[in-house]
Chain A
């Protein structure tokens, strides 16, 4: 390893879920309790680029950021003619994938953190499998997030890459560094084909209304983080959701939007450290 390299390494792992076989790419760095990170819809794991390189975190946690199948370097399934059907991510497939991925890496008591649809699946995981996780950190998540399953993301008369990227530009805070907002924009130009199908889960299939009280935060602590510039899952949505989960914590993040880890990691870091400390204090 030369001095120009950092400690982040990438690998592939075979994962099977609901009969689909995936070769999943993930980045990892650090040692300690696994901290499994899910990117936002239509994006990939570079959103976690600064977390993976932060020794304050990687000295205590094994940070693992995967590309969900159909995103980044994780291809669609190897064993189906996926091009013959419309992609619509479901709650069963998404939660099943995360569990299968954690099993494939033999992760013991990981913390799961995800943003946007990753925040929503964090809630679904706490609801369905509190036995499998040490805790979850839903970022920009809510019990229900309607309104973004739109045909504009794939309209053949518009530039889907630019619509997906510029359509999410307003989800970031104007205070976030311009270069980081543009990196996030750039990632979004690469994911338009999966974006709409991801949002089927985000805005339609994910619906925990009336079920939040079933989440067992003694077994699986929940600490929710929401940015004040997020117009999709607003701080009010995050607070309402946390209020419905007995024992859940909620932190509103100032001067940040829907992509905290990617648009302004230094600002996000302070809130993340609070969340990790809260989980540690609850579980020991």
Chain B
């Protein structure tokens, strides 16, 4: 599933998300910002009405966001593989049984859970963002 013009995992993630039928069909109210803390690098995803408004690699210390998803390297490697191993296969399983944590405003996570779950599964296609 190659995408024309995408040269990095970050760019590919953005293209896949903005072109994803499920997110575009159900993401009309998907407007929030969140941080993916992948140990070596952090990625700030700002969503606006189902589209990636901005995706910032290693944002500054005062960049705000609604919630953060953090985990160790091994968990992210499993999470971002094509067929994730047991307990690395989602944010619920990885927070219940691995070292993933969900920090910040959990209500925003729940309000956007349907499309957020789909968007995070795009990492199975892109692999770790960095």
**Is A155 in contact with chain B by the CB < 8 A criterion?**
yes
The answer to whether B110 and A174 have CB atoms under 8 Å apart is no
In the assembled complex, the CB of A153 is this many whole angstroms from the nearest CB of chain B, namely: 10
Chain B's interface size range is 10 to 19
Assess A229 versus B96: contact at CB under 8 Å? Given A152-B110, A157-B111, A162-B114: no
| A155–B109 CA distance with the chains assembled, in angstroms | 12
Among B87, B92, B96, B110, contact of A158 (Cβ-Cβ < 8 Å): B110
Among A162, A175, A232, A234, contact of B83 (Cβ-Cβ < 8 Å): A175
Among A159, A162, A167, contact of B92 (Cβ-Cβ < 8 Å): A167
The answer to whether B84 and A174 have CB atoms under 8 Å apart is yes
Chain A's interface size range is 20 to 34
The answer to whether A158 and B114 have CB atoms under 8 Å apart is no
The answer to whether B114 and A228 have CB atoms under 8 Å apart is no
Assess A166 versus B113: contact at CB under 8 Å? Given A155-B107, A231-B92, A231-B96: yes
Among B84, B87, B113, B124, contact of A167 (Cβ-Cβ < 8 Å): B113
The answer to whether A147 and B107 have CB atoms under 8 Å apart is no
**Is B93 in contact with chain A by the CB < 8 A criterion?**
yes
**Is A103 in contact with chain B by the CB < 8 A criterion?**
no
The answer to whether B87 and A231 have CB atoms under 8 Å apart is yes
- B residues contacting A by CB (< 8 A) are 83-84, 86-87, 89-93, 96-97, 106-107, 110-111, 113-114, 117, 124
Inter-chain pairs besides A155-B107, A170-B89, A229-B93, 13 sampled, C-beta below 8 Å: A147-B96, A158-B111, A162-B114, A163-B110, A166-B117, A167-B113, A169-B90, A169-B117, A171-B92, A171-B93, A173-B89, A174-B84, A231-B92
